Amino acid sequence: MPGMVLFGRRWAIASDDLVFPGLFELCLRVLWWIGTLTLYLRHRRKLDCAGGVLLSSYLIVLIVLLAVIICTLSAIVYVSMKGTICNPGPRKSMSKLLYLRLALFLPEMVWASLGAAWIADSFQCDKIVVSGIIATVVIRTQTWCPVTLRQASPFSISSRTVSRTTRSPRKWSAIPQGPPSCRSRTTEFDMVGGDQLNCHLGSILQTTGLQHRDFIHISFHNEVYELPFLVALDHKKECVVVAVRGTMSLQDILTDLSAESETLDIGCEVQDCSAHKGISQAARYLYRRLVNDGILSQAFSIAPEYRLVIVGHSLGAGAAALLAIMLRSVYPLLRCYAFSPPRGLLSKSLYEYSKNFTVSLVLGKDVIPRLSVTNMEDLKKRILRVIAHCNKPKYKILLHGCWYELFGGNPDDLPTELDGGNHQDLAQPLLGEQSLLTHRSPAYSFSSDSPLESPTKYPPLYPPGRIIHLEEEGPSGRCSCYTAQYTAKWSHESEFSKILIGPKMLTDHMPDILMKALDRVVSDRAVCISCPAPRGSNVDVV
């Protein structure tokens, strides 16, 4: 696990990271050696031409040199397989083998240069033989002088375009409704940003099933701390809907990464009103747009009897939850539905306060509702402990992981810790708790306390509102014909206090996967919303 020391410096590669690169080069060298040997044995009698002796000598030395390189690579792969992640003792000879391998590059380059010069003067020999040798020299030259092709990465520059039309607050659109398409059309609502062909608008119409006249305001404007959102009227549910978009750009990522907490002024008697800094800044931006710019007043002037509903996904869910807290005093009947919100969002008091009007929805092992600064520190400590106690070499762990990802199975079949607590097999694990203190690098500084047991310096933050957890029933299927079944239950925030590592920790966060799972739960007649928990159960079934 610790980086190797070569040429007086420590590199960001460990001695057990060379198994797969070594095997790859070893396979190429073996094929190369077999081809060169075959070429020499089949055509050595045709090298009795002018310059043939030099070509014959070139092939013989090349075969010997390749054999030495193959032996060196085999030793590197074998040594790299020895030991464990935290026990590099059996791999202490790796640095000498790498020095030897690097030294072999010099005769390779010299011999390839000489071979190129000799071939230039040996065209009197058999053309087949000369062509084979030329191919050998060209391949060797390409190995030492790789050409890096730089491909320009596509990028887009978007500017804020404002397209507004003056309209009466109670005027409905007279535009004939049809299937949404990527073409320009005159709108009766305010729209900020977006593309020229209105493809973004077409996707919203396709997803929501609403009509043009149902929208009050749509903003595609996206900067750091400034999220896209829309305001629409849902006549079926009789509510004014504010929907906030989640992370989809670099600006949104920067908003996510502003993870320190700051005080939130919400004008209520709640103590310790602290929240995620980046998301609270985004919520303030939404508050200014909705209240100060009169967007909500415009919506309720059209439908004054409707109630306010705020929704969002991921980053948008966190901003929606904080926005609901800010608007709670003005709209006491509002409701907030946060889909896959981040965990590191609210202080304990704000978390309890938001339970009155906010519901969060979490699918499976989604990592975002479990993601916070404190949980990341906890995950780091857990990984360090597992690595320190692991008795398997790194390549076996990677192979088992690839097998599980491709063909499924039970990941628990591969033990990652020493059986029976026999930690003597580990020869002073470098990532063990005591070793982190006694063998630390001068470039790092640790406190006198154990880094694995020291308390976090960041205050804990919690997800918003009450939490509905959609759990997959039975083992996860991997074939395309498999249809997952989910159950919904009320869960406590403590169930999301640890980050779970699994193959679905990222896919469970995708909004389309979440909506499909929610549709399956809703369509299941055996599940009813807000029905009481069965007797003897400590968890309320949704």
- Catalytic option among 15, 366, 491, 508: 366
Write the DSSP string, 215-226: EEEEE---BTTB
Which H or E run includes 397?
helix 394-407
Rounded (5°) CA angle 96-100-102: 115
d(Cα 414, Cα 397) in Å, to the nearest integer?
8
What is the separation of C-alpha 478 from the centre of its chain, rounded to a whole number of angstroms?
20
Sequence-separated (6 or more) residues with CB below 8 Å from residue 373: 259, 260, 344, 456, 458, 461
**Helix (H/G/I), strand (E/B), else coil: 314:** coil
- Catalytic option among 314, 340, 347, 491: 314
Strands 307-313 and 239-244: parallel
- Provide the token pair at 463: 């997800």
How far, in Å, are 9, 261, 262, 305, 471 from residue 371 at the CA level? 35, 14, 18, 38, 18
**Is the CB of residue 205 less than 8 Å from the CB of residue 297?**
no
Write the DSSP string, 128-195: HHHHHHHHHHHHHHHHHSPPPPPPPPP-------EE-----TTPPP-PPP----SS----SSEEES--
Residue 366 annotated to the active site: yes
Sheet containing 486-491, strands listed edge to edge, beginning at the edge strand earlier in sequence: 162-163, 190-192, 215-219, 229-234, 239-244, 307-313, 335-339, 358-363, 466-472, 486-491
Report the candidate in 369, 412, 398, 401 with the shortest Cα–Cα distance to residue 505: 369
**Is the CB of residue 374 less than 8 Å from the CB of residue 456?**
yes
d(Cα 246, Cα 368) in Å, to the nearest integer?
12
Compute the Cα dihedral for 252, 254, 256, 262 and give only its sign.
Answer: negative
d(Cα 423, Cα 240) in Å, to the nearest integer?
61
**Is the CB of residue 278 less than 8 Å from the CB of residue 260?**
no
Residue 168 annotated to the active site: no
Give catalytic residues, as residue numbers.
Answer: 314, 366
